[in-house]
């Protein structure tokens, strides 16, 4: 509502006349009326713009009024708040500790207009905030054999507001240069500028919390950061054949570079399938149970490369090799095991087959 105040003013019209040898100034007053309108905001006209109300867990509640206000008081969760605006504003954020995925209620109590009029609003606002943002990564944690040229993918549970920020929200260690590409607003794919080296332990770290990616409704990741260690694909492969004789072959770029007889487990104790070298140890004290039920305790077994639980490739002294003798591991002559240990990396794929 706008109240109009009308003021009437008189203005004089000056007329100059000329006489002989003299200057005669004659003022003839002719009244004219000029109307001036002054607008003044009234408390009764102040309204909250309904579509302006937004609830963001990291900022609070956004409000907008149809006229400027210089202060506002509100109550949230039993606590009263007050904010002053040196320069009256129509749009503002009310800082309150909102929780993602929870129902919230806020009461706008009093508002002081730009003219100093206090208005008791007692306006109750309610909302249910969206659930926190989540992300699925590919590669996953400690994933092996990850493609060296990408894409490495982030799949978010809701559309992301600022997609350009992904460049500084994700870090790689060791550093990897490349570009991010978005599929819609929920899937981000990273493509390295060049193929990453084989069997490298990479750590992809995604910034979480309010400083990380945010959904269009203000939701964010609850974790401070999400770390995904993974191993890039190897250009090597170990193949164990349970034939006659049993052999282990190391391939690089498809070509055999090491071949040796080996021993697998008696009574088919060595599992068949596809595995990866999970770790490397100089030696391990091995304690366990033989297939016949007896127990063993062998200290300082050398050049150990675990591949599946208690199953490992390692060196072990035997009179002969090439047939089942172990409790389940793949045994190699100690000099061969040492050579293999130094040639391969964690993440090297292993295939055991008949």
The 10s digit of each residue's pLDDT in 33-67 is 333 333 344 455 888 998 999 999 999 999 999 99
The CATH number of the domain covering residues in 236-353? 2.40.440.10
**pLDDT recorded at residue 289:** 84
Least confident of 22-26, 203-207, 223-227, 262-266: 22-26
What CATH number matches the domain at 135-232, 2.40.30.10, 2.60.40.3710, 2.40.30.170, 2.40.50.140?
Answer: 2.60.40.3710
Asked if 1-129 and 135-232 have one fold, the answer is: yes
According to DSSP, the residues that pair with 251 across neighbouring strands are: 237, 256
CA atoms within 13 A on the CB side of 188: 24
Contact 251, 239 (CB under 8 A): yes
Contact 293, 327 (CB under 8 A): no
**pLDDT recorded at residue 196:** 97
Kindly report the backbone phi and psi dihedral angles of residue 89, in degrees, each rounded to the nearest multiple of 5, phi listed first. Answer: -125, 155
Q: Look at the domain 1-129 and name its fold.
A: Immunoglobulin-like (2.60.40)
pLDDT at residue 15 above 60?
no
Could you give the CA distance from residue 114 to residue 174 in angstroms, rounded to a whole number?
Answer: 56
SS3 state of residue 44: helix
Q: How many helices (H) and strands (E) does the chain have?
A: 2, 26
Residues 6+ apart with CB under 8 A from 271: 308, 311, 328, 352
SS3 state of residue 164: helix
- What is the token pair recorded at 173? 């260690």
Least confident of 113-117, 127-131, 168-172, 191-195: 113-117
CA atoms within 13 A on the CB side of 300: 0
SS3 state of residue 339: helix
Domain ranges of the chain: 1-129, 135-232, 236-353
pLDDT at residue 21 above 80?
no
- What is the token pair recorded at 85? 């605006």
Could you give the CA distance from residue 151 to residue 183 in angstroms, rounded to a whole number?
Answer: 12
Rounded to 5°, angle at Cα 290 from 274 and 339: 50
Query: Which helix (H) or strand (E) segment is 194 a member of?
Result: none
Compute the chain's Rg from CA coordinates.
39
pLDDT at residue 188 above 90?
yes
Least Cα distance to 344 among 226, 242, 247, 251 occurs for 251
Least Cα distance to 279 among 250, 300, 309 occurs for 309
């Amino acid at each position: 509502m706008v109240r109009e105040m009308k003021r009437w003013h008189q203005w004089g019209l000056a007329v100059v006349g000329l006489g002989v040898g003299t200057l005669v100034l004659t003022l003839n007053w002719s009244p004219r009326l000029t109307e001036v309108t002054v607008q003044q905001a009234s408390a009764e006209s102040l309204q909250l713009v309904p579509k302006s109300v937004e609830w963001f867990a990291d900022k609070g509640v956004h409000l907008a009024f149809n006229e400027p206000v210089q202060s506002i008081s509100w109550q949230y969760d039993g606590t009263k708040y007050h904010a002053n605006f040196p320069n009256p504003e129509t749009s503002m954020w009310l800082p309150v500790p909102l929780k993602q995925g929870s129902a919230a209620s806020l009461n706008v109590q009093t508002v002081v207009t730009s003219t100093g009029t206090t208005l008791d609003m007692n306006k109750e606002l309610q909302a249910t905030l969206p659930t926190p943002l989540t992300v699925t990564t590919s590669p996953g944690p400690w994933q092996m054999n990850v493609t060296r040229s990408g894409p490495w993918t982030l799949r978010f549970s809701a559309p992301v507001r600022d997609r350009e920020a992904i460049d500084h929200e994700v870090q790689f260690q060791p550093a990897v240069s490349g570009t991010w590409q978005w599929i819609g607003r929920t899937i981000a794919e990273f493509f390295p500028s060049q193929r990453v080296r084989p069997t490298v332990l990479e750590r992809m770290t995604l910034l979480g919390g309010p400083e990380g990616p945010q959904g269009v409704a203000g939701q964010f990741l609850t974790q401070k950061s999400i770390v995904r260690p993974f191993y890039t694909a190897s250009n090597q492969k170990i193949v164990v054949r349970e034939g006659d004789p049993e052999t282990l072959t190391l391939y690089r770029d498809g070509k055999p570079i090491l071949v040796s007889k080996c021993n697998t487990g008696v009574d088919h104790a060595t599992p068949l399938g596809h595995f990866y070298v999970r770790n490397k140890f100089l030696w391990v004290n091995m304690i366990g149970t033989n297939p016949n039920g007896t127990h063993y305790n062998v200290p300082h077994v050398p050049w150990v490369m675990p591949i599946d639980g208690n199953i490992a490739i390692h060196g072990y002294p035997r009179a002969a090799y090439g047939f089942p003798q172990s409790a389940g591991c793949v045994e190699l002559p100690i000099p061969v095991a040492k050579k293999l240990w130094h040639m391969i990396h964690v993440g090297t794929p292993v295939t055991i087959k008949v």
